[in-house]
Amino acid sequence: MEGFFAAWLFVTGLVVGSFLNVVIARVPEGLSIVRPRSRCPKCGHVIAWYENIPVVSWLALRARCSGCGTPISARYPMVEVLTGLLYFACLRRFGWTYELVPALVLVTLLVPLTFIDLDHWILPFSLTLPGIAAGVLLAIPRGGDALLAAVIGAAGGFLAFRLMEYVGWKVFKKEALGAGDKYLVAMLGAFLSWHALLGILFLASLQGAVVGSLMLALTGRAGPASDAPGDSETPEPTDVAVDPEPTMTWDFTRSGLPLWKRLLLFPVCLLFQPIPDAPLDEEGEEEEWVPGPTNIPFGPWLALAGLEVMLLGPWLGSVLPSNMALLLGAG
Q: Which residues bind Zn ion (CB under 5 A)?
A: 40, 42-43, 45, 65, 67-68, 70
* Rounded CA separation 216/223 (Å): 8
What's the closest the beta carbon of residue 40 comes to Zn ion, in angstroms?
A: 3
CB of 68 to Zn ion, least distance (A): 3
The residues pairing with 46 across neighbouring beta strands, listed in sequence order, are 39
Q: Are 100 and 29 in contact (CB under 8 A)?
A: no
Question: 286 by DSSP, 3-state: which?
Answer: strand
Distance of closest approach, residue 38 Cβ to Zn ion, in angstroms: 11
Distance CA 196, CA 328 (A): 7
- Give me the half-sphere count of Cα atoms (radius 13 Å) on the Cβ side of residue 26: 16
Of residues 26 and 221, the one with the C-beta less far from Zn ion: 26
Q: How far is it, in rounded angstroms, from Cα 114 to Cα 161? A: 18
Q: Which is nearer to Zn ion, 71 or 267 (CB)?
A: 71
Q: Which is nearer to Zn ion, 67 or 292 (CB)?
A: 67
Q: Mark 57-87 as b/e (b = at least 16 C-beta within 10 Å).
A: bbeeeeeebbeeeeebeeebbebbbbbbebb
CB of 48 to Zn ion, least distance (A): 12
According to DSSP, the residues that pair with 71 across neighbouring strands are 64
CB of 39 closer than 8 Å to CB of 31: no
Q: Write down the least CB distance from residue 65 to Zn ion, Å.
A: 3
Is the CB of 21 or the CB of 83 nearer to Zn ion?
Answer: 21
Least gap, CB of 66 to Zn ion (angstroms): 7
Residue closer to Zn ion, measured from CB, 42 or 170: 42
Query: Residues with Cβ < 8 Å from 213, sequence gap 6 or more?
Result: 222
| Gyration radius of the chain's alpha carbons | 22
Residue 53 or 146: which CB sits closer to Zn ion? Answer: 53
Q: In angstroms, what is the minimal distance from the CB of 277 to Zn ion?
A: 36
* Residue 199 CB neighbours (<10 A): 24
**Shortest Å, Cβ 14 to Zn ion:** 23
Which region, left, alpha or beta, applies to residue 251 given φ > 0 means left and ψ of -120 to 50 means alpha?
beta
Q: Could you tell me the CA-to-CA distances from 194 to 136, 180, 186, 303 in Å, in that order?
A: 12, 19, 9, 15
Decide whether 39 or 170 has the Cβ nearer to Zn ion. 39
Q: Judged by CB, which is closer to Zn ion: 39, or 174?
A: 39
